Amino acid sequence: MRGDRMVGAKLPIWLISVGLILILRAAPAGSASAAGESTVTPASMARIGTVDERFQSYNIEMVEVTGGEFWKPYGPERGAQAAPPPNTPGTPNSNLFQYRPPIDLTNARLRKLASALAPAYLRVSGTWANTTYFADSDNIPSTPPRGFKAVLTRQQWRGVIDFARAVDARIVTSFAVGPGNRDAAGIWRPNQARRFLDFTRTAGGSIAAAEFMNEPNLVAIGGLPAGYNAAAYRRDFKLFHSFVKQTVPGMMILGPGAINEAPEAADLLGASGAGVDALSYHHYGALSRRCAGAATPEAALSEAWLSRTDQTLTFYRTLRDRFEPGKPIWLTETAETACGGNAWAATFLDTFRYLDQLGRLAKAGVQVVMHNTLAASDYGLLDEQTLAPRPNYWGALLWRQLMGTTVLDPGVPVQAGFHVYAHCQRGTAGGVVLLVINTDRNAAYSVKIADASERYTLDAANLQDSTVRLNGAALTLGLEDRVPSMTSIPASGGILTMAPATITFLAVPAAANPACE
């Protein structure tokens, strides 16, 4: 496409994001018998790469910090019939959104559960961040200034800094780029960014990395000026880059932060002029039902669905190699589906996608994966009302406790229905951990392993349950929100069976793998 034009600048969300909508076919039923056996040898698995120590990270949307309209959760029954009917985003009384007061980042349960996932990156951004005004004084406007849609107070941002420090998270963000932060010629001004960064330092905080803006390929929904195009982005990014290098040279610049296989992404990266420290992108397999998406729970374990993350990565890796060769890749926003997630994003059914995506992307060399969100709407790791852990949280906790930063080749051929990933074991010299995912709803698979291992198997009575079991026992918080011990069961060397629709971590602390010493 032409470098001075960005497609889709005035289209509604489901047309702008048409690449997100997938017509997914249900996975074929598996055999009722065992589907096969794979042999693994942890001691000799070769090192194929490493990931950032904060590889598994999460988002708290800027609109959660300021308070405002965010994706409306589904009803208590959580079935498809409970979903709000599709409606046009931004219209009065839209069925898509629901007002939320500012998130309480001092909440003891929230801090305890976030701390259990440390270390991590905390990204505070999202579409709403593009038009959020930072009020750097005690004189807080009762309504957003002209050209802005929300107000972030010093107290609210100080709360983010304190939360990040308390839970061992490093802050990632983006900046205001809407009409209110531009001069008469429509050129971006750094005054808001300067005040924001100055206050962050004064409050004892720091920003590890930032995207210039959130999803610059979605012009209309992102609150950018009408007619904003790649030429304008090139001009503005050059100003932004110069400002960052002079003001906060230690802050990583991420970009372009576009969503899915956006045709505009090549223009955006080309406009950056080799100016990013890491390529960032966003990925959702589809839109949720709120935004007229067509994903179904029947297809949630299919190879077509799970491999969508590979397709988007391939797209951005090709652009990286063309415009920013050698730069690391960060996935700074992802979840089950866009627009708040489907009802089953809050159930065990989505834990297969969550952990499989982490395994795939680590193996492919992606350095950081940020889940959207920590505790808002249906795709949150925590229930936004009670802050109770959802199944994906328990999967995240096991990953954090077991999977180290060194990625290994498990030596198991890729096969439909059965995925195996391997890392060095966190905190155990020479140890290896296998992540074994059986997505077949009917067939069992077997793993032959000579070593004794410690087994952690996740399953649920029903795939769309909100309760997940570890080795047969339901996972719940203890007294005073104590995070339970993720206890394994010993498994002697031999043939281990992986039941249908289960997720198993196999820790082999005595593997003595040289790559893990």
DSSP string, 332-400: EEEESSBTT--GGGGSTHHHHHHHHHHHHHHHTT--EEEEE-SSSSTT-SB-TTT-PBPHHHHHHHHHH
Residue at 242 is within a domain: yes
252 inside domain: yes
**Same domain, residue pair 400 and 424:** no
Q: Are residues 470 and 368 in the same domain?
A: no
In a domain, 473, yes or no: yes
User: Would you say residue 8 lies in a domain?
Assistant: no
Nearest-angstrom CA–CA distance, 418 and 30 = 11
66: left (phi over 0), alpha (psi -120 to 50) or beta: alpha
CATH number at residue 431: 2.60.40
Q: Is 364 exposed, middle or buried (0-12, 13-18, 19+ CB in 10 A)?
A: middle
Asked if 492 and 425 sit in the same domain, the reply is yes
State both tokens at 179: 């009409």
Same domain, 60 and 119: yes
Per-residue model confidence (pLDDT) at position 334: 98
User: Do 211 and 125 touch, CB atoms closer than 8 A?
Assistant: yes
- CA-CA distance, 496 to 491, in Å (whole number)? 8
Query: Is residue 1 in some structural domain?
Result: no
pLDDT at 96: 84
- Are 417 and 439 in contact by the 8 Å Cβ rule? The answer is yes
Mean pLDDT over each residue of the chain, to the nearest integer: 89
6 in a structural domain: no
Angle among Cα 71, 224, 265 to the nearest 5 degrees reads: 90
Domain annotation covers residue 2:
no
388 and 365 assigned to the same domain? yes
Give the SS3 label for residue 321. helix
Q: What is the CATH number of the domain that holds 242?
A: 3.20.20.80
Query: Are residue 451 and residue 337 in the same domain, yes or no?
Result: no
Q: Are residues 359 and 505 in the same domain?
A: no
Do 42 and 58 belong together in one domain? no
Instruction: With residue 437 as reference, give the H or E element that holds it.
Output: strand 432-438
Of the candidates 360, 220, 369, the residue with the CA atom closest to the CA atom of residue 280: 369
Domain final position from 408, 437, 456:
408
Residue that is last in its domain, among 408, 439, 462? 408
Q: How far apart are CA 88 and CA 291, in angstroms?
A: 8
Whether residues 101 and 235 fall in one domain: yes
Which residues are CB-neighbours of 298 under 8 A, at least 6 positions away? 26, 27
Q: What is the pLDDT of residue 481?
A: 95
Predicted confidence at residue 76, as pLDDT, reads 60
Model's pTM, two decimal places? Answer: 0.90
Determine the Cα–Cα distance for residues 306 and 304; give it in Å rounded to an integer: 6
User: 174-184: string of b/e by CB count within 10 Å (b at 16+)?
Assistant: bbbbbebbbee
Tell me how many domains the chain contains.
Answer: 2
Task: Return the number of other C-beta atoms located less than 10 Å from residue 398's C-beta.
Answer: 23
> Do 393 and 476 fall within a single domain?
no
Q: Has residue 7 been placed in a domain?
A: no
The boundaries of the domain holding residue 449 are 37-46+409-516
Specify whether 188 is located in the same domain as 211. Answer: yes
pLDDT by residue for the chain (517 residues), tens only, comes to 333 333 333 333 333 333 333 222 223 333 334 667 899 999 999 999 999 999 999 999 999 999 999 998 886 644 433 444 443 444 434 578 889 999 999 999 999 999 999 999 999 999 999 999 999 888 899 899 999 999 999 999 999 999 999 999 999 999 999 999 999 999 999 999 999 999 999 999 999 999 999 999 998 888 999 889 889 999 999 999 999 999 999 999 999 999 988 888 888 888 887 799 999 999 999 999 988 899 999 999 999 999 999 999 999 999 999 999 999 999 999 999 999 999 999 999 999 999 999 999 999 999 999 999 999 999 999 999 999 999 999 999 999 999 999 999 999 987 889 999 999 999 999 999 999 999 999 999 999 999 999 999 999 999 999 999 999 999 999 999 999 989 999 999 899 999 999 999 999 999 999 999 9
The C-alpha R_g of the chain, in whole angstroms, comes to 23
Same domain? 70 vs 215: yes
Domain boundary among the residues 369, 387, 408 is at 408
